[in-house]
Amino acid sequence: MSVLVPPIKCQGIKTKLVPMILRTIDRDQSTRWIEPFFGSGVVAFNVAPSNALLADSNPHVVNFYKAIQNGHVNGYSARDFLQREGEVLARRGQDYYYEVRDRFNQDREPLDFLFLNRSCFNGLIRFNREGRFNVPFGHKPNRFARPYVTKIVNQIERFRSVVASSEWHFKCQDFAKTIAEAGRNDFIYCDPPYLGRHVDYYDSWNERNERTLYDSLSKRQARFLLSTWHSNQHRRNEQLDSLWGHHHVTLHPHFYHIGARENNRKAMLEALVTNYPPPRGSLEATVPAVDSSQLEVSLELLPA
Ligand SMILES: C[S@@+](CC[C@H](N)C(=O)[O-])C[C@H]1O[C@@H](n2cnc3c(N)ncnc32)[C@H](O)[C@@H]1O
């Protein structure tokens, strides 16, 4: 299947995992889709529900998508902006990147956010304690060459057409509040930050948060699907057993790159937790059956 790519990137983006997430969802099209940690929006974008509540604690991500929804950001405004700003970046290099970063930290303009997100180091979204965007330059002054701008413009237009034909509500709020809004007929997809992986002003996560997530979901009658991790070569997610182990857990190997080098390919066993039996065709494995020291063996046993 071809996966629609959203106009912004973020750490933990699920682009590569969309096919398996789609296979594991069990809802009919009229069900409201709720995403308390929507990030780049790639999952909602590909599910394309007609009715959705999409929330995140990061106000800049939420503002960016609201700006697409109200037309402030569209294909024309983005092309015009990225071409103009891209030319200055090509001429002035990293000094200009840092100038735009300061401007964004003062004015919070969605198009500056897009510019930074697409020219910063590794497409990261990271804010410091004062709520200031602090990702360094990605070292590509010619970042906004015409084909790249066209690619982003197409992503925006595609997103805009999906948002325009649906009832989507964007909110900046804590996940517990979003989940508390769910009714029994809604479907909740949760993709929280992975424990101990990223630390950022809007995006930190600890065991207490995971427990609150568990309690919040347990109080609702809605179906839910949770993305989390099972293990990598070094560690195993203990809370997968202790908190979520009595739900249905489907395991999926996933490879990601650290830095740009092809040989820095790391394996991670992703887990999808559901409070309903996963549809036929998604592979179910009992969590204790996979030992992280045996991860490479397990990866061979599991279909991609
Ligand atoms: C792993 S990312 C989600 C990625 C998203 N599924 C995607 O594919 O782009 C986790 C998101 O949770 C958000 N987040 C972190 N803590 C939160 C909280 N307490 N309430 C709501 N959102 C939170 C972060 O801002 C981040 O966008």
Per-residue pLDDT at 245 exceeds 50? yes
Percentage of residues in the chain having pLDDT higher than 70: 88
Q: pLDDT digit string (tens) for 81-101?
A: 999 999 999 999 999 999 999
d(CA 267, CA 256): 7
Pick the CATH number of 69-161 from 1.20.1090.10, 1.20.930.40, 3.40.50.1000, 1.10.1020.10: 1.10.1020.10
Q: pLDDT digit string (tens) for 145-199?
A: 999 999 999 999 999 999 998 999 999 999 999 999 999 999 999 999 987 666 6
Backbone angles phi, psi at 127, to 5 degrees: -120, 145
Average pLDDT over residues 206-232: 95
Per-residue pLDDT at 297 exceeds 60? no
Residue 202 binned pLDDT confidence (cut-offs 50, 70, 90) = confident
Residue 114 binned pLDDT confidence (cut-offs 50, 70, 90) = very high
Closest CA to 166 of 43, 10, 47: 47
Q: How far is the CA of 110 from the centre of ligand 1 (A)?
A: 18
- CA-closest residue to ligand 1 atom 15: 203
CA-35 nearest atom, ligand 1: 6
Beta strand pairing call for 265-274 and 223-232: antiparallel
Task: Give ranges for CATH 1.10.1020.10 in the chain.
Answer: 69-161
Is the minimum distance from the CB of 40 to ligand 1 under 6 angstroms?
Answer: yes
Cα dist. 289→241, 271, 294 in Å? Answer: 11, 13, 10
The mean-pLDDT minimum among 114-128, 189-203, 279-293 falls in 279-293
pLDDT number for residue 197: 65
Pick the CATH number of 15-57+173-301 from 3.90.105.10, 3.40.50.2300, 3.40.50.150, 3.30.1020.10: 3.40.50.150
Question: Looking at beta carbons, which pairs linking 138-143 to residues 24 or more positions away fall under 8 Å?
Answer: 139/94, 141/89, 141/90, 141/92, 141/93, 141/94, 142/90, 143/86, 143/89, 143/118, 143/119
CA-39 nearest atom, ligand 1: 27
pLDDT number for residue 264: 62
pLDDT number for residue 194: 84
pLDDT number for residue 303: 40
Q: Which helix (H) or strand (E) holds 146?
A: helix 146-164
Q: How far is the CA of 84 from the centre of ligand 1 (A)?
A: 31
Task: Give ranges for CATH 3.40.50.150 in the chain.
Answer: 15-57+173-301
- CA-closest residue to ligand 1 atom 16: 203
Is the minimum distance from the CB of 86 to ligand 1 under 6 angstroms?
Answer: no
The mean-pLDDT minimum among 57-66, 100-109, 228-237 falls in 228-237
**Number of Cα atoms under 13 Å in the Cβ half of residue 12:** 22
Q: How far is the CA of 175 from the centre of ligand 1 (A)?
A: 9
The average confidence (pLDDT) of the chain is 89
Higher pLDDT pick, 183 / 267:
183
pLDDT number for residue 6: 97
Higher pLDDT pick, 79 / 253:
79
Residue 262 binned pLDDT confidence (cut-offs 50, 70, 90) = low
- CA-closest residue to ligand 1 atom 18: 174
Beta strand pairing call for 167-172 and 51-56: parallel
The mean-pLDDT minimum among 200-209, 220-229, 258-267 falls in 258-267
Closest CA to 57 of 160, 158, 200, 157: 200
